[in-house]
Amino acid sequence: MRNRSSLLLLAGVMSIQVAFAQAPAPDIAAVEAQTRRVEVALVRLQAEQQSLYQQFQMIQGLRDGLLREMQQATQIYTPEATPPSYDEMIARRTGREDRLNGYTDELDRLYDRYREIEDLKRPLLEELSALARAR
């Protein structure tokens, strides 16, 4: 019984080896070319992502500075020699709020694009992994 199961196991291993020996080898040049194309696409996406990240940081800095400015304007009030008109004060406050909203919208847009690129990179990384296994 033990010899019989050993023979069956040996026959199974031999058939698997024969199947792998008969399987066509992947075209190495085609795999290398595809690997290069995928790597180039990944590099481009990563460069765009880095650019978006830098833009995000700059706009976040502008927004944070504006928030500090708005906060300080309400905390420390020193009356001017000639008080500004009500319309000027409202116009400045409205301008700051509009800039703040614009910065926030831009940050949301940059973040969304960053996530889109991350989603685009995922299948490319999987393909690169599959190509590495095919080598």
Q: Say what the pTM is.
A: 0.68
17 in any annotated domain:
no
pLDDT in tens, 103-124: 999 999 999 999 999 999 999 9
In a domain, 111, yes or no: yes
Domain contains 13? no
SS3 22: helix
Within 10 angstroms of residue 56's Cβ, the number of other Cβ atoms is: 17
Domain residues for 122? 27-134
The crossing angle, in degrees rounded to 10, of helices 86-134 and 28-75 is: 160
Answer yes or no: are the C-beta atoms of 114 and 53 closer than 8 Å: yes
Average pLDDT per consecutive 10 residues, the chain (135 residues; last block may be shorter): 40 43 66 92 96 97 93 69 85 94 97 97 94 85
Where are the strands (E) in the chain, listed by range?
none
Q: Count of domains in the chain? A: 1
What pLDDT does residue 65 have? 94
Does any domain span residue 3?
no
Q: Which run of H or E residues covers position 92? A: helix 86-134
**Do 125 and 41 meet the contact criterion of CB atoms below 8 Å apart?**
no
Report d(CA 45, CA 91) in Å as an integer: 41
Question: Which domain CATH number covers 40?
Answer: 1.10.287
Domain for residue 2, yes or no?
no
CA-CA distance, 31 to 119, in Å (whole number)?
23
